[in-house]
Amino acid sequence: MGRLAQTDGLTEIQRDILATVRDFVDKEIIPVATELEHKDEYPTAIVEGMKQLGLFGLTIPEEYGGLGESLLTYALVVEEIARGWMSVSGIVNTHFIVAHMINAHGTQEQKDYFLPRMAAGEIRGAFSMSEPGLGSDVAAISTKGVRDGDHYVLNGQKMWLTNGGTSTLVAVLCKTDEGGSTPYRNMTTFLIEKTPGFGPNPTVPGLTVPGKIEKMGYKGVDTTELVLQDVRIPADRVLGGVPGKGFYQMMDGVEVGRVNVAARGCGVARRAFELGISYAQQRSTFGKKISEHQAIQFKLAEMATKVEAAHQMMVMAARKKDSGERNDLEAGMAKYLASEYCKEVVEDSFRIHGGYGFSKEYEIERLYREAPMLLIGEGTAEIQKMIVGRRLLEEYRLAD
């Protein structure tokens, strides 16, 4: 283990958790990741291993059977997992977001019902906000929930669900027209339990997961649509029990999700650096190792600096959230920086590999296809810069 991406001030428990996860990644994920990714095969054995390690309950409070760890611990675990295979970190991420939303905003009954089984990995969560025509404009949401006695009837189409097929619980954002005068006060989050699988759901009439979306990268994990046609959901499955709060609940989930995406960028970038510096010491040109060429040393120096800078920014954002302070500025910065630097470090490692980087026999080929997803997930770079810019204007506003 090199000196890059070290984190000061960790407890002994945190260090033990990270050492265990790092060992699991090296032994159980890296050796099989490229083969599974090329087959677009769900990593069942890896997921079972993560369940045994308790990773699905990492941040869930101990009273519900979880480990009660911080966002920082979780982000550092995600960084390690993404270093092995980014798709595996995606399987944990949406589950983590839904668990966070239930713990932060759910009724006591919802916490008692969902969190113990989520901690054990028996229930696995998916997060559904986006729609086919939505993009970054959440106010344009069209999926609708209409009150009908003790139930809501949901109709619409959702898009880009990570774990859409394999999950058993989906947090779905719908328009309900019950909260207030603005679009953001007329959204509600529904907790929908379902049977895993594709096609019409056997336990939720009207709910359909059509199938996996074919993607350039980020394979293995299933990314899907979700179609709702007159789906009836009990009113007690409104997150928090009160309609009209869905937008704010989802944004809280996205905020911690941005720290997660930053951590994924850090993990992928670190792996790309490891592959690049290793290959540079094995490949020879013009009578010497390419690592001895100044041009390659410059490239390695730039890559390492970006890996370190992104990691420290991600750690700062996680610690800010853990302290209870508002962290949208830091989370936006971390997500923006880590995803952009990840793309650049991966591309530089790809260049170091030369023609072999284009071969599927080399791991960097997989990373080169995975990195672009981080530029989009949990908000594009443009959205992050807009959030950061607005917050900076709040912080540095001139007196009237």
How far apart, in whole angstroms, are the C-alpha atoms of residue 265 and residue 271?
10
How far apart, in whole angstroms, are the C-alpha atoms of residue 339 and residue 292?
29
Longest dimension (CA), the chain: 80
What sections of the chain are H helices per DSSP? Answer: 12-24, 30-39, 44-53, 71-84, 86-105, 108-119, 246-280, 294-322, 328-353, 363-374, 381-395
Q: Find, among 288, 276, 334, the residue nearest to 75 by Cα.
A: 334
Residues 96, 121, 171, CA angle at the centre, nearest 5°? 45
How far apart, in whole angstroms, are the C-alpha atoms of residue 83 and residue 272?
8
Active site residue 378: yes
Q: At what angle are helices 328-353 and 363-374 packed, to 10 degrees?
A: 150
Long-range contacts of 192-199 (CB under 8 A, 24+ apart): 192/231, 192/233, 192/237, 193/123, 193/168, 193/169, 194/167, 194/168, 194/169, 194/170, 195/168, 196/165, 196/166, 196/167, 196/168, 197/165, 198/165, 198/224
How far apart, in whole angstroms, are the C-alpha atoms of residue 57 and residue 66?
4
Phi, psi of 129 (to 5 degrees): -120, -45
**Given 37, 69, 363, 378, which residue is catalytic?**
378
* Residues designated as active site: 378
